[in-house]
């Protein structure tokens, strides 16, 4: 409902958002609300499409011709689709996500430009709403997306390597730290923990910035009205985090403090998450040395319809909350406990009783190799009460002598809010 508090997607209004259609080389700029920064198509335009080759700009959705139905936000344009019945139009489908997320271009069909956006703003009951979060992605000059959303922690943060045993410096990325245990001020995204107490050294106000094609920057400042810690004396706290995409494949390392006097902190983090996303991810079951500088093929793990599914138990068996997960890799599970949907790759079955839930599908799966971790993500399972769609995340590890003829088996590692984590040792993850 739109009242004084604004629409439910209010938190997204403060920023200008971008998305790129890589195939057609079109860059979209989105202005969701009257109060949002304008696109280059002018203040009345909600969605502006720029043809990167011809440099021609065109509004594909007007702010005043907005229609919100459930979690789908449409913006009509006054122009008719050439050769069609309908008007030029933009349609954004929102889903519940754990971070602010980013709009993703999906397709354009009959002058309707479709986007999908997984964001905490679309969840029920403010379930994943942080104290503060800013957009956490940028496009480089080649139109490639660099996305730090996978680094954002929903609770707690990262310990910065500062070479000082007397203090701990914690940061979250693009979002406030949610770490009650460390008693950091709730809006802090950088927090100094000392013997005297925990102090905020700032929170984000602007989104992630591009410094060069292999480096990104994030800045934190104290929010207006919050008082400066005594230990900063007359200096205003400031934190600059620089993310560096390494020039070759490289395993993960912690963020490092490179300067920290007078409450001005410089943090440097060499991480592959700073590299462009097409380098890190694929939507198939393979990564290739040409595109990803590493070669991985998980297809030998895919089961045939006549095979028994992979399975993992959660917790002590026969407990009240003990589940079995049936799984396949990059394919449909060979059983039908979770129904006939042909894309189900992860199915949760309660051991006591007949509760079954789809815990992830391979249709929009992501295989990612970043900072030495090989991860397969199955999204779009059945919804939890928060609105979040159950999801499975498998972390593959190399084990040349894995059981099951080298294939190995998934091992349940835990659940947080309808995301299910698994570890899987297999010979097919050896790089």
Q: Which residues bind ligand M6P (CB under 6 A)?
A: 348, 357, 384-386, 415, 418
Query: Residue 222 or residue 349: which is nearer to ligand M6P going by CB?
Result: 349
> Which residues have C-beta within 8 Å of that of residue 242, sequence separation ≥ 6?
211, 215, 216, 217, 266, 267, 268, 269
Q: CB 335 → ligand M6P: shortest distance, Å?
A: 18
Contact call for residues 19 and 50 (beta carbons, < 8 A): no
Contact call for residues 347 and 325 (beta carbons, < 8 A): yes
Query: Residue 123 or residue 160: which is nearer to ligand M6P going by CB?
Result: 123
Q: CB 376 → ligand M6P: shortest distance, Å?
A: 19
Q: CB 415 → ligand M6P: shortest distance, Å?
A: 5
173 bridge partner residues: none
Query: Residue 292 or residue 390: which is nearer to ligand M6P going by CB?
Result: 390
Q: CB 92 → ligand M6P: shortest distance, Å?
A: 25
Query: Residue 296 or residue 338: which is nearer to ligand M6P going by CB?
Result: 338
Contact call for residues 312 and 325 (beta carbons, < 8 A): yes
Query: Residue 223 or residue 348: which is nearer to ligand M6P going by CB?
Result: 348
Distance, CA of 113 to CA of 61 (rounded, Å): 9
* Burial category of 414 from C-beta neighbours within 10 Å (exposed 0-12, middle 13-18, buried 19 and up): exposed
Q: CB 328 → ligand M6P: shortest distance, Å?
A: 19
Query: Residue 341 or residue 415: which is nearer to ligand M6P going by CB?
Result: 415
β-pairing, 238-244 with 215-221?
Answer: antiparallel
Query: Residue 282 or residue 386: which is nearer to ligand M6P going by CB?
Result: 386
Cα separations (Å) of 420 from 15, 55, 394, 410, 417? 31, 44, 8, 12, 8
User: How many C-alpha atoms does 3 have within 13 Å on its Cβ side?
Assistant: 2
Query: Residue 279 or residue 323: which is nearer to ligand M6P going by CB?
Result: 323
**DSSP-assigned letter for residue 278:** H
Distance, CA of 236 to CA of 394 (rounded, Å): 43
Q: CB 110 → ligand M6P: shortest distance, Å?
A: 36
DSSP states of 159-184: EEB-S-TT-EEEE-SSB--B-GGGT-
Contact call for residues 211 and 217 (beta carbons, < 8 A): yes
Query: Residue 11 or residue 415: which is nearer to ligand M6P going by CB?
Result: 415
Query: Residue 61 or residue 309: which is nearer to ligand M6P going by CB?
Result: 309
The distance of Cα 198 from the centroid of its chain, to the nearest Å, equals 28
Distance, CA of 322 to CA of 141 (rounded, Å): 49
Q: CB 414 → ligand M6P: shortest distance, Å?
A: 11
β-pairing, 391-398 with 419-426?
Answer: parallel
Distance, CA of 333 to CA of 392 (rounded, Å): 14
Contact call for residues 368 and 275 (beta carbons, < 8 A): no
Query: Residue 31 or residue 357: which is nearer to ligand M6P going by CB?
Result: 357
Task: Note the residue count of the chain.
Answer: 431
Q: CB 56 → ligand M6P: shortest distance, Å?
A: 47
Distance, CA of 389 to CA of 391 (rounded, Å): 6
Q: CB 246 → ligand M6P: shortest distance, Å?
A: 37
Q: CB 386 → ligand M6P: shortest distance, Å?
A: 6
Residue entry with tokens 């909350």:
321
Q: CB 388 → ligand M6P: shortest distance, Å?
A: 8
CB burial of 153-189 (b: ≥16 within 10 Å; e: otherwise) equals beeebbebebeeeeeebbbbbbbbbbbeeeebbebbb
């Amino acid at each position: 409902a739109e009242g004084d508090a604004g629409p439910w997607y209010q938190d997204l209004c403060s920023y200008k958002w971008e998305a790129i259609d890589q195939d057609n080389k079109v860059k979209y700029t989105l202005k969701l609300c009257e109060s949002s920064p304008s696109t280059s198509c002018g203040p009345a335009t909600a969605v502006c499409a720029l043809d990167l080759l011809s440099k021609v700009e065109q509004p594909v959705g007007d702010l005043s011709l907005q229609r919100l139905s459930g979690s789908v936000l449409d913006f009509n344009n006054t122009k008719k689709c050439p050769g069609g019945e309908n008007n030029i139009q933009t349609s954004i489908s929102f889903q519940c996500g754990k971070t602010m997320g980013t709009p993703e271009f999906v397709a354009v069909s009959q002058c309707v430009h479709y986007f999908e956006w997984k964001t905490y703003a679309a969840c029920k009951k403010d379930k994943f709403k942080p104290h503060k979060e800013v957009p956490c992605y940028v496009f480089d000059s080649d139109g490639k997306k660099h996305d730090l959303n996978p680094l954002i922690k929903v609770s707690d943060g990262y310990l910065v390597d500062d070479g000082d045993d007397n203090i701990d410096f914690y940061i979250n990325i693009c979002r406030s730290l949610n770490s009650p245990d460390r008693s950091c001020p709730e809006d802090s995204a950088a927090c100094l923990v000392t013997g005297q107490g925990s102090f905020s050294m700032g929170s984000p106000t602007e989104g992630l910035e591009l410094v060069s094609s292999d480096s990104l920057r994030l800045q934190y400042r104290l929010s207006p009205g919050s008082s400066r810690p005594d230990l900063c004396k007359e200096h205003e706290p400031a934190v600059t985090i620089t993310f560096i995409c390494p020039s070759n494949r490289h395993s993960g390392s912690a963020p490092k403090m490179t300067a920290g006097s007078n409450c001005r902190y410089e943090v440097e983090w060499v991480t592959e998450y700073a590299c462009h996303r097409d380098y890190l991810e694929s939507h198939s079951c393979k990564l290739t040395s040409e595109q990803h500088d590493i070669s991985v093929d998980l297809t030998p793990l895919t089961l045939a319809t006549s095979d028994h599914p992979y399975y993992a138990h959660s917790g002590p068996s026969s407990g009240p909350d003990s589940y079995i997960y049936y799984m396949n890799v990059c394919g449909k599970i060979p059983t039908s406990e979770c129904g006939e949907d042909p894309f189900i790759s992860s199915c949760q079955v309660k051991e006591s009783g007949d509760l079954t839930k789809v815990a992830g599908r391979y249709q929009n799966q992501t295989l990612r190799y970043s900072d030495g971790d090989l991860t397969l993500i199955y999204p779009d399972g059945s919804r939890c009460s928060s609105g979040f769609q159950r999801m499975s995340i498998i972390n593959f590890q190399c084990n040349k002598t894995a059981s099951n003829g080298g294939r190995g088996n998934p091992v349940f590692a835990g659940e947080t809010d309808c995301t299910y984590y698994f570890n899987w040792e297999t010979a097919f993850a050896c790089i």
